[in-house]
Amino acid sequence: MKLSNRITGINAGGSDGWETYVLACEMEEAGKEITHLTIGEHDIRTDPLILEAMYNAALDGHTGYTALGNGSVGLRVRIAERVEKTTGIPTSPDNVFVVPGGQAGLFATHMGCCDPGDRAMFIDPYYATYPGTIRSVSAEPVPVPARPERIFQPDPADLEAAAAAAGGVSSLLINSPNNPTGVLYSRETMEGIARFCQEQDIWLISDEVYETQVWTGAHLSPRMLPGMQERTLVVGSMSKSHAMTGSRIGWVIGPQEVLERLDDLATNTTYGVAGFVQEAAAFALGLGESFEEKIAEPFRRRRGIVMRLVEGQNHVRAIPADGAMYVMLDIRATGLSGEDFANGLLRTHHVAVMPGESFGRAAAGHIRVALTVADDRLEEAVRQLLAYAGDLSARRTD
């Protein structure tokens, strides 16, 4: 018997981008002490107040089937209020669809926008699951490079060229603040993306899970731009904003008629999100902006540590980190690829970072540093990284 082409083709027979992370875990299991600057996982876990709310909700009986696949009314009201407050765009609970995490939101939105064989665009560099998510709905991934010389801001001309080469597309997926680059898309970039989507008459899927982690500038959701509310689907999550990664709770914001169709999908896939998790999420959102700022603050502070250290040398260049829990470093002066640099750093200094190539061709020659360990340990690891880069650069000039 054979498996379906759909399931065997999710990674297109190639890499899933996580080899360096897997190697670091194997070394750790073998007894090596590894400093993990790899995945976007908070080093401070979910706040006890939220866990207590989840526990009490379970004791109160929120452990059975949930009545509504699109989410409890109470949670959708909280999410709608938050979205309307931060964007100024009228948003009702009917514009909110609750999903088990941002990844489920990415899958659901592409299921809603793409037929089998359709072409779906996304920006390169990208979060590692993007092309696999598109293939999993039997669509064809179309990467569009955001080039280092433009500080990884997408160029509308590149979008147009990619769409023309593909013979037409159904959707475009963007992510700002961006993982892996830390770049915040400018208003000019967002307006160019909006014009492109309107001219092509396609859906825009906006992954905004890092919206509370903005260090410079201001986050602009494309749903706020003229003519975009009816063609934009926003994916949000409690994972990064409230350190609830394992709780698997997020949402899709969009037109009511679209979300009603996503309800059909949920009935046949997830059957909703656990009630006690939804109750905890509603409680967490009620803690307000000050709580979200507290969760984000360590990453703001650690970003400053990395940028200060990088400014003190000339072998590695930092991409301006406007947001998210990462700093991307340009290591091309060492003569190594991002993959070779990351693997060499891991073997020699036991510091694990992600190669830029894990996130697409546009990030080749770069590495991503996750700001997810204590300040002193992060500083020591970055010093080792920079020393390693300096040694490599010196050898090139000898």
CATH number of the CATH domain containing 160: 3.40.640.10
> Has residue 239 been placed in a domain?
yes
pLDDT tens sequence across 291-316: 999 999 999 999 999 999 999 899 99
Largest CA distance in the chain: 70
Statement to judge: residues 164 and 85 lie in one domain: yes
* Residue where a domain stops, chosen among 267, 287, 307: 287
Domain containing 219: what range?
A: 66-287
Statement to judge: residues 93 and 200 lie in one domain: yes
Statement to judge: residues 231 and 317 lie in one domain: no
Per-residue buried b or exposed e for 119-154, using 16+ beta carbons within 10 Å of the residue's own CB? bbbbbbbbbbbbbbbbbbbbbbbbbbbbebeeebbb
Which of 271, 277, 269 is CA-nearest to residue 246? 277
pLDDT band at 69 (very low <50, low <70, confident <90, very high): confident
> Has residue 387 been placed in a domain?
yes
Statement to judge: residues 35 and 135 lie in one domain: no
pLDDT tens sequence across 144-161: 999 999 999 999 999 999
pLDDT tens sequence across 132-142: 999 999 999 99
> Has residue 334 been placed in a domain?
yes
Phi, psi of 66 (to 5 degrees): -85, 145
Statement to judge: residues 222 and 125 lie in one domain: yes
Structural domain count of the chain: 2
Q: How far apart are CA 119 and CA 390, in angstroms?
A: 43
* Residue where a domain stops, chosen among 251, 270, 287: 287
Residue 122 and residue 131 in contact, taking contact as beta carbons nearer than 8 Å: yes
Statement to judge: residues 157 and 200 lie in one domain: yes
Phi, psi of 194 (to 5 degrees): -65, -45
pTM of the model: 0.96
Residue 112 and residue 262 in contact, taking contact as beta carbons nearer than 8 Å: yes
* Residue where a domain stops, chosen among 287, 315, 338: 287
Phi, psi of 158 (to 5 degrees): -70, -35
Contacts of 292 (CB under 8 A, 6+ apart): 212, 241, 242
C-alpha distance from residue 18 to each of 21, 133, 151, 207, 346 (Å): 5, 16, 24, 21, 14
Statement to judge: residues 248 and 363 lie in one domain: no
Statement to judge: residues 187 and 310 lie in one domain: no
Statement to judge: residues 149 and 245 lie in one domain: yes
